[in-house]
Amino acid sequence: MGFRDLRVFNDALLGRQAWRLVREPHSLLARVMKAKYYSNFDFLDAPLGVSTSYTWSSIWSSKALLKEGMVWRIGNGTNVRIWEDPWLLDELGRFITSEKHGDLTMVSELIDFDRMEWKVSLIEALFNDRDIKCILSIPLSSIPMKDELTWAFTNDAHYSMEVSPKVKHFLWRLCTNTLPVRSLLKHRHMLDADECPRGCGEPETQSHAIFGCPFLRDLWVDSGCERFRTLISATSLFEGLANSQGMDEGVRTKGAFLAWVLWSERNALVFNAVTTPPPFCWRVWLGWWKNTVPILPGSILLATALLPQAPESGLHLRRK
């Protein structure tokens, strides 16, 4: 096993150390680093400074990675800024999208502490529909609690860069062109026909099964990942990712997981004769993306970095 991109893997490990500085400010490491490098700041607001050590500059550089995945869990709202901090969570992002009102600054100003409820009338007057829905869906505790920084992409709210083994295995097979699509099985004399099982009449190649079938194109468009589909379907996954640096990072990550959902749906059709309507496919993907997928937006390169590599000369299949 090797790593596809050691730089990305190293960034993930540095992110873990930065997360410790944020989550464990009273640890020995955090106290030493704060005293030496950012005594007058919080870690997330600390400048790099001058004449710094290589260790500090490396950890400091991972702040951007950290900021892409963290979200505030609201307790009393006294430490969370309404307009600048990430404290909402849905498929559209973690920040307020409404126009800023200068007379409000902290989330605590939106809370009725006598009843420990949101000030509904104030929120409905100041925010758009999306923000209202997100704010009012946040539960408030009747017991006073502090605000807490959490990781948005794991169920336990702790920093993690793990990738689901199922998704990891799928990505590896996609990258090595070894998904058992019908054209490959026909080439190996295991099937007589290679037509797409969805009934479009075209040969089921790997690219067609996930990216090219006419029955799937609306899903790619509706998910906002059409650019990802167009780029990856024209090349291999690795080549497509290498050429997608200018693409929105969230699109790359969501596109990879949508590909896995569509492959799972294809297998259900082939092996269990279960047809999944496109709207239900969309809900399955959205549910995984919001609640289960433990991966940072933009770090799909990390997923490929952790994949086992095939031999440089390719895969050698032994026929009996």
75 contacts: CB under 8 Å, gap ≥ 6: 141, 144, 145, 146, 147, 148
For the chain (320 residues), the mean pLDDT of every run of 10, in chain order, is 53 82 88 91 87 87 80 91 89 84 89 91 92 92 84 66 66 78 89 90 89 85 80 68 62 76 86 72 56 39 37 39
Q: Within its chain, how far is the Cα of 258 from the centroid?
A: 12
Per the confidence metrics, is the pTM higher than 0.75?
A: no
Q: What is the pLDDT of residues 226-269, one digit of tens each?
A: 887 887 776 666 666 566 656 666 677 777 778 888 888 888 88
Helix/strand number for the chain, H first, E second: 15, 4
Neighbour-count burial of 66, counting CB atoms closer than 10 A to its CB (0-12 exposed, 13-18 middle, 19+ buried): buried
Percentage helix, strand, coil for the chain under 3-state DSSP, each rounded to 5? 50, 5, 45
Query: pLDDT at position 118, please?
Result: 94
> Which of 264, 252, 253, 255 lies closest to 220, judged by CA?
255
Query: pLDDT at position 241, please?
Result: 57
**How far apart (Å, rounded) are the C-alpha atoms in residues 238 and 244?**
10
Segment (H or E) for 268: helix 249-272
**CA distances (Å), origin 174, targets 128, 238, 265:** 41, 9, 16
String of b and e for 12-51 (b: at least 16 CB within 10 Å)? bebbbebbbbbbeeeeeebeebbeebbeeeebeebeeeee
Segment (H or E) for 9: helix 6-23
**How far apart (Å, rounded) are the C-alpha atoms in residues 143 and 113?**
10
Query: pLDDT at position 312, please?
Result: 40
Q: What is the pLDDT of residues 177-219, one digit of tens each?
A: 788 999 989 888 888 999 999 888 899 988 888 888 888 888 8
Q: Within its chain, how far is the Cα of 168 from the centroid?
A: 14
Query: pLDDT at position 179, please?
Result: 87
Quote the DSSP letter at residue 143: S
String of b and e for 239-252 (b: at least 16 CB within 10 Å)? ebbeebeebbbbbb
Query: pLDDT at position 320, please?
Result: 39
Asked if residue 112 lies in contact with residue 79, where contact means CB atoms within 8 angstroms, the answer is no
Q: Position of tokens 């896995």?
A: 260
Query: pLDDT at position 2, please?
Result: 40
What SS3 class is residue 111? strand
